Amino acid sequence: MLIGEYQHNIDAKNRVIVPAKFREDLGKRFYVTKGLDGCLFVIPSQGWEQLQEKIAAMPISKSRSLQRFFFAGAAEVEPDKQGRILIPQNLREYAGLEKDVTFIGTSTRAEIWSTENWNRINSELTQDNIAQAMDALDF
């Protein structure tokens, strides 16, 4: 399970270290694509295949935007021996990644955020928002 929050930096060659605890769950190769709210989704191979299957099962009239959003700019990545991956320019630009990044685990996928955007989105969370979401789960 992908959980936790980790701070890292993008180096001069546009590589970033994937947290060691995440590399175990993500596997040798995984996928980085555009996510929601201005982050990047980091999806293990099995999750990527499930996403592809679900989108392929939809009528093209409903799936074409999802296909374009998730697949057009996606990258299959494999960490080097130091656990670093190269994040392509289009994805760095989409998520506003420059130097300081935050990896978070969201159970079945990880997300990569610019630390500035991560701090901003966290400041917008309120106890009321969380309580309403928890009510929907009967938690």
Q: What are the residue ranges in the chain where pLDDT is below 70?
A: none
Residue count of the chain, please give it: 139
Distance separating alpha carbons of residues 67 and 26, to the nearest angstrom:
22
User: How many Cα atoms occupy the beta-carbon half-sphere of 121 within 13 Å?
Assistant: 12
Confidence at residue 43, expressed as pLDDT on a 0 to 100 scale: 98
pLDDT of res. 126: 86
H or E segment and range at residue 127: helix 127-136
| pLDDT given for residue 125 in this prediction | 84
DSSP state of 88: P
Report the Cα–Cα distance between both ends of the chain, in Å, rounded: 20
75 in helix, strand or coil? strand
pTM over 0.85: yes
